[in-house]
Amino acid sequence: MEPFLFASEAFLLWLLLAADAVSAFPRPPQRLGAQKILHDTLSLPRRNLTLPVHDPAPCQRITELERNRKGYLYGRSLIGDSSYFISGELGDRLIKEHLDLWYRDAAWVSEAVENGSRAVAEAVARGGGLGDLASYELLYRDQWQEVNPAGVAPGVHTNYTQDLFFSMERLSANAFSVRRLHPTKDRLPFAVEESIVQKLTGLSLSTLHVTGRLFLSDHSYQLDYLDTLSKGRYSAACSAYFYIHPVSNEFLPLAIKTNVGENLTYTPLDEHNDWMLAKMLYNSNDLFHGQVSHLASSHAVAEIVHQAALRTMSKSHPVRAYLDRIMYQAYAIRPVGESALFSNGGFFDTVFSTTNPAVRRFATKFYPATVGRFRANYLVSALESRGLINCTYGPALQHFPLFEDAAPVVGAMRRFATSFVDAYYLEGDLMARDHELQEWALEATGPAKVLDFPTWPLMQKETLVDILTHMAYLTGVSHHVLNSGTPCTTTGVLPFHPAAIFQPIPKSKGVKSLLPYLPDLGTSIAQIGLFIRFNRAKLIDGRGCLVNMFSDDGFLHGQPNEVQKAAEEFKGKMEEISKIIRGREFDQEGKAQGIPFIWRGMDPSSVPYYLSV
Ligand SMILES: *[C@@H]1O[C@H](CO)[C@@H](O)[C@H](O)[C@H]1NC(C)=O
Ligand SMILES: *[C@@H]1O[C@H](CO)[C@@H](O)[C@H](O)[C@H]1NC(C)=O
Ligand SMILES: *[C@@H]1O[C@H](CO)[C@@H](O)[C@H](O)[C@H]1NC(C)=O
Ligand SMILES: *[C@@H]1O[C@H](CO)[C@@H](O)[C@H](O)[C@H]1NC(C)=O
Ligand SMILES: *[C@@H]1O[C@H](CO)[C@@H](O)[C@H](O)[C@H]1NC(C)=O
Ligand SMILES: [Fe+2]
């Protein structure tokens, strides 16, 4: 009993210290009971929707828009330099409203995570502590049930040492960092010993390259962040090759180069511990990438397009209503991020190896270069440009879970957006005569500085459908496959995905034990707690989940029958997809979608329809 009490007390002390370090985390005004949250506010207030050309009271609309242009202003970007953050008198009011909504949800999650942290610390102590890799499972088994009811994805703890597990995470849980190398336009960024490549693949590195079978995930840009490391924490800046095996056609890892210190290159032919460490170093870099890029790719983009709409379209405009609906609570996230997650000594600094300046540098660099570009990140375009689908210079991927699951969801979003646009723009020239819509497009490409937005004037219904589909994709798909429930179920699960590394990166191979590199009990619980804070268990199967993105009385009030019908169809399709995803099981080979774990990150009944955190 003694050691157990001691461990538990030490942990409570740690909790207090950690809580102090992150005291900037916004607290709700009062503690709310677990049941008293979600989601009486989720409905969009009723409006009478009309295009400006049909509005019987055009003067009121003009007055409203004058007020909006004065009241919603473009302010300083938050968390690095990406898109403007909203400001002005009306903007500030909206932020406050959204923060209030956000706290209502977060209050319960926070409290439950704190309770869960205590329970886990006791369970691990009872189980003998974190003495080996297997014991990290104690951090999850029968824990966190309220806040993460789905638990860790099936197969994660049993199969994480398999190479296919590691490689297929690149095509499911974070499919945004890997690309296929082009045979002529891309050069090989690093060499791998030829005998090893031959032994693993039966081909040479250059043959893999010219036949379009070689892929790269490059986190070497993280070298620029190494001056931000926390004391006692370390990081590599890995680049990794993956390849399509010429016989099995499986997508597998080939090599990982650390890019730091002795620049060691690891391969699956290394000793077990060395190769495992290399994969963990990579995972740590990739976790940074997934978590930080989601900020600039979903929040920063969706917000700025919506901000342009707030200034140019009346509340009565159907397109504005569509955007308002999916931008529920969205303006809470960047301020909360700024003040608690990425503040000095905040959650990010507590959990990751690098500290918050790295996050700001990443956003500043990658927002204009890649992730902030509107059209370039349409689902199909983004995957095509990285050679993952419709590739003309190499074989197709045998399995691509992200695309398999996201494509039908985005297809359904497109069908809804098409019905929506068709229902309002009945005649050919109505879009041209809709001066609010045109002002929006002009504003977006002009003062709002949305990058790579479709050009003004906005004349084609198809283009408007693309925009609305992409906005729904940003708030209902791309955000959640990276953030929300993803890190707590897959990409951030210990011991394989440490957010921080606690030993210097080795100068030579032959590492004896992986344990010293991994977070200890307190830091492990902090990592898990942070990632669970991104999850929103209370909205599973409820009004806030993706199934109900368009099925909302307030939003549908007074809308044409075609829109009502399209919302029903969308809902039906999401329920169907959810059933498939929830029913997914391991096949005889112990895989699902070709991967040795069950990926449910895209379940429309479990992910929010909005930018939840
Ligand atoms: C919508 O229009 C109806 C009829 O003109 C009116 O009675 C109602 O107040 C309007 N609702 C809103 C929210 O403006
Ligand atoms: C946290 O634990 C306390 C004390 O057991 C309990 O009263 C409270 O309801 C728990 N909170 C949540 C959100 O589970
Ligand atoms: C390791 O590689 C990085 C990036 O490729 C380079 O900047 C660095 O100089 C190299 N260091 C050594 C010791 O070779
Ligand atoms: C790209 O791939 C998708 C899915 O496989 C397919 O539906 C689409 O038609 C392809 N597009 C082109 C241009 O080949
Ligand atoms: C993955 O783990 C599950 C148990 O969680 C097991 O049934 C399955 O066979 C494993 N798959 C492989 C490929 O080992
Ligand atoms: Fe987010």
Q: Which atom of ligand 2 is nearest to the CA of 115?
A: 1
The two tokens of residue 326 are 């999916």
111 alpha carbon, closest ligand: 2
For residue 48, tell me if it sits in a domain.
Answer: no
Nearest CA to ligand 3 atom 5: 259
Ligand 5 pocket at CB < 6 A? 154-155, 158-159, 586, 590-591, 596
Helical residues (DSSP H) of 295-313, grouped into ranges: 300-312
Q: How many domains does the chain have?
A: 1
Q: How many residues are present in the chain?
A: 613
Tens-place pLDDT, residues 428-452:
899 999 999 999 999 999 999 999 9
111 lines ligand 2 (CB under 6 A): yes
In the reported structure, the alpha carbon of residue 484 is separated from the centroid of ligand 5 by a whole-number distance in angstroms of: 25
- Cβ(335)–Cβ(99) under 8 Å? yes
511 lines ligand 2 (CB under 6 A): no
For residue 194, tell me if it sits in a domain.
Answer: yes
In the reported structure, the alpha carbon of residue 263 is separated from the centroid of ligand 3 by a whole-number distance in angstroms of: 6
C-alpha atoms less than 13 angstroms from C-alpha of 112 in its C-beta half-sphere? 23
Q: Which of 106-110, 453-457, 463-467, 468-472 has the weakest average pLDDT?
A: 106-110
Query: Is residue 38 very low, low, confident or very high in pLDDT (cuts 50, 70, 90)?
Result: low
In the reported structure, the alpha carbon of residue 48 is separated from the centroid of ligand 1 by a whole-number distance in angstroms of: 6
Query: Is residue 11 very low, low, confident or very high in pLDDT (cuts 50, 70, 90)?
Result: very low
For residue 50, tell me if it sits in a domain.
Answer: no
**Distance (Å, rounded) from C-alpha 387 to C-alpha 396?**
9
Nearest CA to ligand 5 atom 1: 155
505 alpha carbon, closest ligand: 3
17 lines ligand 2 (CB under 6 A): no
For residue 65, tell me if it sits in a domain.
Answer: no
383 alpha carbon, closest ligand: 4
Query: Is residue 239 very low, low, confident or very high in pLDDT (cuts 50, 70, 90)?
Result: very high
Ligand 4 pocket at CB < 6 A? 389-390
Nearest CA to ligand 3 atom 3: 259
Residue 4 has pLDDT above 50, yes or no: no
In the reported structure, the alpha carbon of residue 390 is separated from the centroid of ligand 4 by a whole-number distance in angstroms of: 6
The two tokens of residue 600 are 């449910």
Nearest CA to ligand 4 atom 12: 390
Residue 5 has pLDDT above 80, yes or no: no
In the reported structure, the alpha carbon of residue 159 is separated from the centroid of ligand 5 by a whole-number distance in angstroms of: 6
Q: Tell me how many helices (H) and strands (E) the chain has.
A: 23, 7
47 lines ligand 1 (CB under 6 A): yes
119 alpha carbon, closest ligand: 2
In the reported structure, the alpha carbon of residue 225 is separated from the centroid of ligand 3 by a whole-number distance in angstroms of: 15
Nearest CA to 592 out of 112, 168, 103, 204 is that of 168
pTM of the model: 0.94
Per the DSSP assignment, residues forming a β-bridge with 241 are 216, 255
Q: List CB contacts of 482: < 8 A, sequence separation 6 or more.
A: 174, 176, 290, 291, 293, 294, 297, 298
For residue 467, tell me if it sits in a domain.
Answer: yes
55 alpha carbon, closest ligand: 1
Nearest CA to ligand 4 atom 6: 390
Query: Is residue 202 very low, low, confident or very high in pLDDT (cuts 50, 70, 90)?
Result: very high
* Average pLDDT estimate for 145-150: 95
Mutate to test the pocket of ligand 3, among 223, 263, 285 (most ligand atoms within 8 A of CB): 263
- Cβ(209)–Cβ(183) under 8 Å? yes
DSSP secondary structure, 509-523, as one string:
S----SGGGS--HHH
Burial 481-514 (b: 16+ CB within 10 A, else e): bbbbbbbbbbbbbbbbbbbbbbbebbeeeebeeb
pLDDT for res 39: 58
**Distance (Å, rounded) from C-alpha 148 to C-alpha 538?**
10
pLDDT for res 449: 98
Say what percent of the chain tops pLDDT 70.
Answer: 93
**Distance (Å, rounded) from C-alpha 350 to C-alpha 347?**
5
In the reported structure, the alpha carbon of residue 207 is separated from the centroid of ligand 4 by a whole-number distance in angstroms of: 26
In the reported structure, the alpha carbon of residue 424 is separated from the centroid of ligand 2 by a whole-number distance in angstroms of: 49
Q: Which atom of ligand 1 is nearest to the CA of 45?
A: 13
Nearest CA to ligand 2 atom 3: 115
- Cβ(313)–Cβ(440) under 8 Å? yes
- Cβ(38)–Cβ(105) under 8 Å? yes
315 alpha carbon, closest ligand: 1
* Average pLDDT estimate for 284-310: 98
pLDDT for res 462: 97
Tens-place pLDDT, residues 598-612:
999 999 999 999 999
Query: Is residue 105 very low, low, confident or very high in pLDDT (cuts 50, 70, 90)?
Result: confident
SS3 call for 433: helix
Mutate to test the pocket of ligand 1, among 43, 44, 47, 48 (most ligand atoms within 8 A of CB): 48
Residue 3 has pLDDT above 70, yes or no: no
Q: Which atom of ligand 3 is nearest to the CA of 220?
A: 4
226 alpha carbon, closest ligand: 3
Residue 21 has pLDDT above 90, yes or no: no
Mean of the per-residue pLDDT values for the chain? 93
Domain extent, residue 304, equals 73-504+512-582
Tens-place pLDDT, residues 536-577:
999 999 999 999 999 999 999 999 999 999 999 999 999 999
112 lines ligand 2 (CB under 6 A): yes
In the reported structure, the alpha carbon of residue 163 is separated from the centroid of ligand 5 by a whole-number distance in angstroms of: 13
Residue 151 has pLDDT above 90, yes or no: yes
For residue 31, tell me if it sits in a domain.
Answer: no
* Average pLDDT estimate for 313-317: 98
For residue 301, tell me if it sits in a domain.
Answer: yes
Residue 187 has pLDDT above 60, yes or no: yes
SS3 call for 266: strand
**Distance (Å, rounded) from C-alpha 608 to C-alpha 541?**
10
* Average pLDDT estimate for 324-341: 96
* Average pLDDT estimate for 568-593: 98
CATH number of the domain where residue 136 is located: 1.20.245.10
- Cβ(205)–Cβ(193) under 8 Å? no
356 lines ligand 3 (CB under 6 A): no
